[in-house]
Amino acid sequence: MSRIRDNRNDTEFWYKKRQDMVLIWIDKIFTLAINRFKWLNLPTSVDERYLEEYLIRNGKMLFFKDDILDKFLTLKFTKEGTLDCYDNPIFRRAYANTNYQKVLNEKNSVIIYENYLRTPIYPKIAFYADMLSNFDMTIYQNLYGLRTPLIFATSQDERLTTENFQMKYDSFIPIIKVNGTHFDLENFKVLNMNVPNNIRELQEAKTRVYAELLEFLGIESIVYQKNERLLTQEINKSLGATNVFKRAGLNARKQACGQINEMFGLNIDCQYNTDLIDKLIEYNSLDDITIDTQQLNNTEKEVTNE
């Protein structure tokens, strides 16, 4: 999108652009996070997307059966009263945006946690969205500076003409015509800022931060320079932290599945979404990187089967 100058304040323009970039990254990261796991044999009355969304946002959800509705539900909840010796709330108040509320306890409901820390990961999503949007905006401004590495100095009388000139330049108009009679070239000076091209270095730094984000989400993504030979030992080392983060989310969900199945006689399970890994590998063009894909697949199977 070209920057078209109008009566808007420049500060407001760039602030809005920065906020838009943050929201774009939040959507991207949230999409990855909400698709990390897939639930098996959930009752039809339980919305899997809603469950995962609010595990990410709140860090916890409550599974129970409403005897009046005769349905299993998984809703947001607040802690009520005292805690047991393991800091689990004895009483829980489930609620929905429809003003539905129901007080339950540890004998007729099960808490599902996002991870073993029992914390939401949305603040981390916002943090990485802020970092990655900073890279994008810096790259954008560097690219813009390479297009217009100039400062225009002119008189107040020529200000409107200069702004129109800049607007046309921003719109990628290759030839800009000026009226020599009404445009005094003597009062128009240009200072070359010699803007350096840092786009490649910024993109590489952004890629490393993105790889760190994927590691935090427990998503395998070996991001290296092309044509670099990756040995099995290097793959294992790079995936070590990734697998720890993956288990943190998966084990918390599997623990809840076991408690739900025991309490309600169901057969619910949760698995890591391996299809997501395949899509990411395709998206990141990892086929151009020489890696031991068999080892990557074996590592994925070990985590999924645990």
The burial of 36, by beta-carbon neighbours within 10 Å (0-12 exposed, 13-18 middle, 19 or more buried), is given as buried
Whether the predicted pLDDT of 231 surpasses 70: no
Q: Span 33-61, mean pLDDT?
A: 96
Q: What percent of the chain has pLDDT over 90?
A: 49
pLDDT of 280: 62
Report the DSSP pairing between strands 89-95 and 101-105. Answer: antiparallel
Whether the predicted pLDDT of 60 surpasses 50: yes
Please state, in angstroms and rounded to a whole number, the distance separating the CA atoms of residues 4 and 149.
17
Q: Both tokens of residue 218? A: 């427990």
Q: What angle do CA 105, 106, 109 make, to 5 degrees?
A: 80
Q: Span 208-233, mean pLDDT?
A: 70
Please state, in angstroms and rounded to a whole number, the distance separating the CA atoms of residues 62 and 6.
51
pLDDT of 179: 61
Q: Span 186-193, mean pLDDT?
A: 68
pLDDT of 183: 60
Tell me the three-class secondary structure of the chain, residue by residue.
CCCCCCCCCHHHHHHHHHHHHHHHHHHHHHHHHHCCEEEECCCCCCCHHHHHHHHHHHCEEEEEEECCCCEEEEEEEEEEEEECCCCCEEEEEEECCCCCEEEEECCCEEEEECCCCCCCCHHHHHHHHHHHHHHHHHHHHHHHHHHCCEEEEECHHHHHHHHHHHHHHHCCCCCCCCCCCCCCHHHEEEEECCCCCCHHHHHHHHHHHHHHHHHHCCCCCCCCCCCCCCCHHHHHHHHHHHHHHHHHHHHHHHHHHHHHHHHHCCCCEEEECHHHHHHHHHHCCHHHCCCCHHHHHHHHHHHHHC
Q: Span 141-166, mean pLDDT?
A: 71
Out of 53-57, 77-81, 241-245, the most confident range is 53-57
Please state, in angstroms and rounded to a whole number, the distance separating the CA atoms of residues 251 and 229.
33
pLDDT digits (tens, 9 = 90+) for 167-178: 776 666 656 666
Q: Which residue has the tokens 């994008």?
A: 136
pLDDT of 100: 96
Residue pair 218/245 in contact by the 8 Å Cβ criterion: yes
Q: Which residue has the higher pLDDT, 36 or 287?
A: 36
pLDDT band at 287 (very low <50, low <70, confident <90, very high): very low
- What pairs with residue 191 in β-bridges? 151
Choice among 53-67, 86-100, 225-239 with the minimum mean pLDDT? 225-239
pLDDT band at 225 (very low <50, low <70, confident <90, very high): very low
Q: Span 276-298, mean pLDDT?
A: 49
Whether the predicted pLDDT of 52 surpasses 70: yes
pLDDT digits (tens, 9 = 90+) for 72-106: 999 999 999 899 999 999 999 999 999 999 999 99
Q: Which residue has the higher pLDDT, 194 or 300?
A: 194
Please state, in angstroms and rounded to a whole number, the distance separating the CA atoms of residues 263 and 279.
36
pLDDT band at 152 (very low <50, low <70, confident <90, very high): low
